[in-house]
Structure 1
């Protein structure tokens, strides 16, 4: 596949910024145009089959992430879903968070009346989680699968072991910086809840996301509402309690349809290719950045890493990278570089040339 043909933005710049926003494929934009053309021509008749349309997306998500279809919920983004989730939990829960994690994870917990503490986001993240569990005894662990500032990726085998050793620990993950980078089996993972926005590595544009849960999670949520009968109106008669909570109101078929198209697009490319490309670029970039003294110890000392990096960069270097038309993001104390499958070794070398000339 010619990625520059599918992603016209790649003709205009070196795009190393998927951690900020994924880019839109030409074929998906053409589908979006066709969708809105139908809406324009049909008016309200266009929405007659919207329930089947959205259920079809749930089926695609369930297949894509190896989840149960009945446990897939469509949400506008991670933040709305996570806040809704927290509002359904008892305030007696004790949360273990990760320092410097995405504010949409930590702040909603901190600002409610939960008890919480932190594990350190460093080269010993997994061990610190274990140590903190022993001393703090949390009932919930909430964290990003990949840290948004520096790309630290949690060890998935560790999550499985953790769940086996602490079956009552509710493990909630933000997959926004992970979903779309490799094949992932939710049912076999140690996660109880996976929530993700679709606009980064899923390449699904804005205004869509999803939540996957395990069966037992129903027992944690909105227990006080179970004493109230559900709405009797015909258009809501098939809605479950959690559907009313997480999928309230009208869902936009343009945004959620785009997510389905992105799933089909990623499946066409294939995760064998995507994962190998990301692993190759990640290993090459980590070695190159390490050789130049641009990475922190916490990244260098971890055996595996995502394709997101935070490199040391002063204002002069940042300006030179911008002038070279290389798109990145400033996050935290460093410059965030992120490689996706549509990037290649030549683009890494282009970045390194600018760095070496600084």
Structure 2
């Protein structure tokens, strides 16, 4: 059994993480990630060309590191992508859907996992079915309502593992079982979960798992990862580039055009995937997240919340019962002055996000119990 995590603040610049309870928006930059970028930039300054193996080796290293993080047996099922929307659009291009079918999403889903399905349904004459968040006091969980919405005409369920606005968790195993019953695809946006909580892709077996890399995966802005299951093995990429074709390692024969792609998800990797500056940063971020481990990150964040949860509820603040610990949407009591609350947060140097009616608090292993207490005191002060 691995030892519990202790405060990891020394791995980041102090100014970047002090009071930073907003990791769901963008990760602070690890010192190791910055060092990787500086080393790569220095190398590029001193070298005009790039050795051919460097187009492929670092890409494979990043794929293997992400595969290890999600428990994937085959790194070749991982594609390097520039954004969640790119990975979702790739699935949408390959999903069989026709008139009378439906694709299911949930209320207030992040736009990158919504627009592609909206356009696809409009083009195909299908229904985009949105499952609303259960009203307070209603029966059944959000996951149960989602399961009830699936029928024999469902082509796909496209949801997040953790809802980006409030941290709501969905029962992925139950969703997989139900989608299997009706031969529907399960597409997961894991941007707000992978890197902060454990996940086993071999256990859940989605058809696609997609994650932006600049949040919990500690990478730079403009990177992401997609794992594609067997249904995507012979699909069509959304772009055609030289490096994803068979034999692309042999630069002398690139003009001998190939119909065959590289194996499995390689066909879906973005062009210019061999980014000399971003890839070293991605690899450094993934290495650190793998070293921490999602289970230990969740345990660390759960301990932070244990310090203040009871007091928050005494103040009338709603704290979801079934939630992730790294991303929690707090429901404020009626009548609380939002402007006053923002001022209290600012005065204490606390950084959070506001999503709809919720205050989204997303701590990580660089945060302290004292910062959580400052959060509590800010809310108490604003409540009056």
How would you bin the TM-score normalised by the shorter chain? 0.7 to 0.9
Residue 241 to residue 267, structure 1, CA distance change in 2 (3 Å) = closer
Structure 1 unaligned segments of length 5 or more: list them.
none
Corresponding residue for 1:293? 316
Q: Is 1:209 matched with 2:209?
A: no
Corresponding residue for 1:222? 236
Q: Is 1:85 matched with 2:102?
A: no
The RMSD of aligned alpha carbons is 2.8
TM-score normalised by the chain length of structure 1: 0.87
The 5 A counterparts of 1:99-138 are 99-112=107-120, 113=123, 114-122=126-134, 124-134=141-151, 137-138=153-154
Corresponding residue for 1:261? 284
- Secondary structure of 1:73's counterpart equals strand
TM-score normalised by the chain length of structure 2: 0.81
Residue 13 to residue 341, structure 1, CA distance change in 2 (3 Å) = closer
- Looking at structure 1, the residues matched to 216 and 273 of structure 2 have their Cα atoms a distance apart, in angstroms, of 25
**Cα deviation per residue 1:58-109 (whole Å; 9 max; x = unaligned)?**
1222222111112110001111221232123334252011011101111221
Residue 329 to residue 239, structure 1, CA distance change in 2 (3 Å) = same
Deviation at 1:257, TM superposition (A): 2.3
- Looking at structure 2, the residues matched to 89 and 249 of structure 1 have their Cα atoms a distance apart, in angstroms, of 26
- Secondary structure of 1:22's counterpart equals coil
Residue 282 to residue 175, structure 1, CA distance change in 2 (3 Å) = farther
Deviation at 1:307, TM superposition (A): 2.7
Q: Is 1:63 matched with 2:68?
A: yes
Residue 224 to residue 321, structure 1, CA distance change in 2 (3 Å) = closer
Residue 87 to residue 286, structure 1, CA distance change in 2 (3 Å) = farther
- Looking at structure 2, the residues matched to 160 and 345 of structure 1 have their Cα atoms a distance apart, in angstroms, of 37
- Secondary structure of 1:139's counterpart equals strand
Note if contact 1:162-1:190 (Cα within 8 Å) is conserved in structure 2: no
- Secondary structure of 1:268's counterpart equals helix
- Secondary structure of 2:129's counterpart equals strand
- Looking at structure 2, the residues matched to 51 and 37 of structure 1 have their Cα atoms a distance apart, in angstroms, of 20
- Looking at structure 2, the residues matched to 115 and 248 of structure 1 have their Cα atoms a distance apart, in angstroms, of 33
- Looking at structure 1, the residues matched to 350 and 82 of structure 2 have their Cα atoms a distance apart, in angstroms, of 30
Deviation at 1:11, TM superposition (A): 6.6
- Looking at structure 2, the residues matched to 326 and 272 of structure 1 have their Cα atoms a distance apart, in angstroms, of 26
Residue 247 to residue 11, structure 1, CA distance change in 2 (3 Å) = closer
- Looking at structure 2, the residues matched to 254 and 193 of structure 1 have their Cα atoms a distance apart, in angstroms, of 27
Structure 2 unaligned segments of length 5 or more: list them.
1-5, 135-139, 240-244
Note if contact 1:77-1:197 (Cα within 8 Å) is conserved in structure 2: yes
**Cα deviation per residue 1:132-177 (whole Å; 9 max; x = unaligned)?**
114x7312000111111111121344345435x5262210010110
**Cα deviation per residue 1:7-50 (whole Å; 9 max; x = unaligned)?**
11457730000010111111221121011111111121356522
**Cα deviation per residue 1:165-201 (whole Å; 9 max; x = unaligned)?**
5262210010110011123211111422100011111
- Looking at structure 1, the residues matched to 349 and 361 of structure 2 have their Cα atoms a distance apart, in angstroms, of 13
Total equivalences in the alignment:
347
Note if contact 1:197-1:210 (Cα within 8 Å) is conserved in structure 2: yes
- Looking at structure 2, the residues matched to 205 and 353 of structure 1 have their Cα atoms a distance apart, in angstroms, of 33
2:156 to 98, 119, 140: 140
- Looking at structure 2, the residues matched to 352 and 5 of structure 1 have their Cα atoms a distance apart, in angstroms, of 25
Note if contact 1:161-1:190 (Cα within 8 Å) is conserved in structure 2: no
Q: 1 or 2, which has the higher helix percentage?
A: 1
- Looking at structure 1, the residues matched to 231 and 97 of structure 2 have their Cα atoms a distance apart, in angstroms, of 18
Note if contact 1:76-1:208 (Cα within 8 Å) is conserved in structure 2: yes
- Secondary structure of 1:29's counterpart equals helix
Note if contact 1:54-1:253 (Cα within 8 Å) is conserved in structure 2: no
Note if contact 2:238-2:268 (Cα within 8 Å) is conserved in structure 1: no
Corresponding residue for 2:377? 353
Deviation at 1:232, TM superposition (A): 8.1
